[in-house]
Structure 1
Amino acid sequence: MRDVVIVGGGPVGILLGCLLAVRGVDVEVLEQRRQPSMRSRAIGIHPPSLGALEQIGVADDLIARAVRIRGGIVSCDGRTLGRLSFAEAAARYPFVVALPQYETEALLRARFEQLRPGGLRPGVTVLGVRDLGDHVEVTSRGRGTIRARYVVGADGARSVVRDALHIGWTSHGGGETYLMGDFAEPGEGGAGAGNAGVRGEGAAGAASGGAGSSGEAGSGAAGAASGSGEAVLYFERGGVVESFPLPNGRRRWVALTDGLVTDACSADLAGIIRDRTGVLLPPSADPPSAFSVRQRLADRMLAGRVVLVGDAAHEISPIGGQGMNLGWLDAVALAPAVALALADPASAEAALAEFDRRRRRSARMAARQAGFNMAMGRPASGVRLRARNALVRVLAVPPARGILARAFTMRWL
């Protein structure tokens, strides 16, 4: 009988496996995929998560591969509304790092293999979970029936574990749609690179009144999008555009859309960005991803000897980069609670109940923050536009700036 079986070998499940393994726990991870996904997906890793990666000995390696994002810029109509420095939020890691998810997962898998050789079981489909009081049975295709003292569901928003326990799954807003794609940095070469950072002749350029009217030419958000190591949020009239640096001279762009445009090509996304911000992107052969935001929370994260973490417990808008990091913080909180429950069964109920209470509270806070982020990025004009821009300016100066930096680096979750 295993101490712990984790269902789901994504970044949350594997990190939890590592955190348990370094505590001497006999842990096995079941993963349905035979091969890892090579999609970029989640890229932002916040300071609390870097602290978790430090616990398992991979933080330095990951930071060496990633881009450090030391702050952010918010702009509208070519004018910089405010700047945010992440140095105000974290002393040890005064930055957010960006790395494609498949590279992050590869580092975690390699470390887990060092800690628990053969502990990751790919190609296993979990069919059901039964809590029998003193242990849990997991039925699967690929491994048969597995017994464990505790089971953790880290199997995503369509969680088989959550469904098997009949745990409620409640919607908390959402519905916005976005288009996301990765492009070479403007100015790194290729067609259109010579125009990088220059506002075009479309609606965004006309709205700015020309570079001379802003007083920010060359130092504003459009210029900052060229290899500055800063995130840029364009709160434009037609809807938000977000931009984040990536390794190897690339940058991620995310734009709010009127609907789910699953057939869009990279030129379509580049057109939206040009029309709203005036930034001209080089051509890209990589197709963009369209996604619809859903925000849902599990009614509970604990049922007897079974626990939920990550997207199985809370599906949070990716706008703001909270999803993967929130799951990692679940893992950081759960690992010592499970280790205590195994070592001292009399303490198990209280330790796991405290985990459930605190992490559901954090998930609710993250959902509210994500809702605020999405509301700020909606199309705006007239009085609403002026009010939103005034709010951004207020939030970008002390003392609000420090609070905002803590929020965007997940220091309170």
Structure 2
Amino acid sequence: MTTEQTDVLVVGGGPVGLSVGALLAAEGLDVRVWERRDAPPSGSRAIGIHPPSLDLFARLGVAAPVVAEAALVRRGIATSRGRTLGTLSFDHVSATHPYVAALDQHRTETILRDRLAALAPGALRTGTAATALHRHRDHVDVHGTGPDGAPVSVRARFVVGADGARSAVRDLLGVGTHGRDYGDRYVMGDFADPGGTPADTAVVDVGPAGVLESFPLPGGRRRYVALVPHHDEEATTRAPDGDAAEAGRASRLAALVRDRTGVAPDAATSSMTSGFRVRRRTADRVGVGRVVLVGDAAHEISPIGGQGMNLGWLDAAALAPVLAGAVRSGSSGPWPRYATTRQAAAARAARQAEANMAVGRPARGLALVGREALLRSALRLPTGGLLASVYAMRWA
């Protein structure tokens, strides 16, 4: 078995790993990206791309195709019990991208794959999984299996673990995580847009039964995310594509949308539904020798608020110049500073996501009236601009 040599091996070829690889290739480094999946990207999954991430994409030369294809969310409306509580505008959150771009994750990944291929042909190795990792003073040896099951091996000066919340790299390092699980359960789905809401507008309804979010998608579609009752276990249980349970979940979500907002999406137009629960996890260590973790491998937060994937991209933006400098200087990498700043950013995003969940839980009586009054005030006062900046991740 021949051992390849490279400056940096990125394990994980999702949106974050592809960005790390493309940024490093743009810096002139030799890079490899191992991705366990061998099929092309598919599914909508995470959709929100915030202004700081779009600025990063501009550096990579992919902002234009992303923006051209995405639905651009320029404002958000908060509602409750059929009434508008206030409006949040993104007009002033960025001089370059005054909106949140909503694009199916598989399209974002495909655009990033194409850019990586242009910068570093052959760098992406699909169907390749890391199975062993050996750290040395000046390099790391990584062994794995290729798409045909044959062994593969790379000797890298640095390794980046961008392989998600169930990171194999983190496990191979023996790094644990700490955090908590939440009782909140949600179901989301993509439907043909039933109309009634402008195509550049997101809606967050915080009525008595709990939050229901609505986001535009390209192609005349709309994403709905709803908090579901604790007793509705079936709504948050995954079902195979085409299974009767999938159709049943689409019908239940469409009914939740209708009951809470009066909008009636057609369940038959559903292209995806997914139930999920929420947890928060933080890696005990972000860097070990010449191996560093990014994205969900380093910090997993609630998807409510849509900031997790963007945190990973901003990790990539912070890490790439550090790695490039370390490769050129022959140093081992100043991980403590990177770890401190990025984990602090993740902690802030996690607290914001927790606040979003708290505001979206069921409420009755005076608690509901108080919540509505608080949101009205926050959205009408100058704090509305601050809230827009916070949601758009201008702090990150």
What is the DSSP-based 3-state SS (H/G/I as helix, E as strand, rest coil) of the residue aligned with 1:94? Answer: coil
Instruction: Check if 1:242 corresponds to 2:213.
Output: yes
Partner of 2:80: 76
The answer (yes or no) to whether the contact 2:290–2:333 under 8 Å persists in 1 is no
Once the two structures are superposed, residues 302-355 of structure 1 have per-residue CA deviations (whole angstroms, 9 ceiling, x without a partner) of 111000001111111111110110100000000000011111234x443x3211
- Distance in 1 between the 2:171 and 2:98 partners? 39
1: distance between equivalents of 2:38 and 2:281? 28
**Matched residue, 1:207:** none
Separation in 1, partners of 2:115, 2:41: 18
Partner of 2:173: 165
1:156 is aligned to 2:200: no
Query: Residue 206 of structure 2 aligns to a residue in which SS?
Result: strand
SS in 2 for 1:13: helix
Selected match of 1:180 from 173, 177, 188: 188
Q: Which runs of 5+ in 2 are unaligned?
A: 238-244
Provide the residue aligned with 2:6 in structure 1: 2
Q: Unpaired segments of 5 or more residues in structure 1?
A: 188-222
1:194-218 Cα distance to aligned partner (Å, 9 max, x none): xxxxxxxxxxxxxxxxxxxxxxxxx
Aligned to 2:340: 357
Tell me the equivalent position of 1:377: 360
Structure 1 Cα separation of the partners of residues 338 and 23 of structure 2: 16
With the length of structure 2 as denominator, give the TM-score of the two structures: 0.92
Determine the structure 1 residue equivalent to 2:301.
316
1:115-169 Cα distance to aligned partner (Å, 9 max, x none)? 0100000111111222112111111012522110000000011101111112121
Equivalent position SS for 1:272:
helix
Q: Residue 240 of structure 2 aligns with which residue?
A: none
Counterpart in the other structure of 2:242: none
Aligned partner of 1:368 among 344, 351, 358: 351
Q: Does 1:265 align with 2:249?
A: yes
Secondary structure class of the residue paired with 2:78: strand
The answer (yes or no) to whether the contact 1:27–1:119 under 8 Å persists in 2 is yes
Partner Cα separation in structure 2 for residue 14 and residue 251 of structure 1: 27
Identity across the alignment (%): 51
Q: Secondary structure of 2:351's partner?
A: helix
Q: 2:222 aligns with which of 245, 248, 251?
A: 251
1:378 offset after TM fit, Å? Answer: 0.3
CA RMSD, Structure 1 to Structure 2 (Å)? 1.3
Specify the code of the residue in structure 2 equivalent to 1:278: G
Question: Does residue 290 of the first structure (1) align with residue 275 of the second (2)?
Answer: yes
Q: Which residue of 1 aligns with 2:101?
A: 97
For residues 338-392 of structure 1, give each alpha carbon's deviation from its aligned partner in whole angstroms, at most 9, with x where no partner exists.
Answer: 011111234x443x32111100100111110110011110001111111211221
For 1:3-402, what aligned pairs fall within 5 Å after superposition? 3-142=7-146, 143-187=151-195, 223=196, 225=197, 227-259=198-230, 260=233, 261=235, 262=237, 263=245, 264-283=248-267, 284-346=269-331, 348-350=332-334, 352-402=335-385
Distance 1:37 1:384 in 2: 43
* Distance in 1 of aligned mates of 2:32 and 2:333: 22
| More moved, 250-259 vs 172-181 | 172-181
Per-residue CA deviations over 1:55-106 (Å, capped at 9, x if unaligned) read: 1101011100011100100000111111101112112110001110000000
Q: Which deviates more, 162-171 or 59-68?
A: 162-171
**Which deviates more from structure 2 when the two are superposed, residues 88-97 or residues 166-175?**
166-175
Distance apart, 1:175 and its partner CA: 3.1
Q: Do the aligned residues in 1 keep the contact of 2:41 with 2:110 (CA within 8 Å)?
A: no
Tell me the distance in 2 between the aligned counterparts of 1:31 and 1:308: 15
Aligned 8 A contact 1:172 1:367 in 2: no
Q: What SS is found at the alignment partner of 1:38?
A: coil
1:212 aligns with none
Residue type matched to 1:53 in 2?
Answer: F
> Which deviates more, 399-408 or 261-270?
261-270
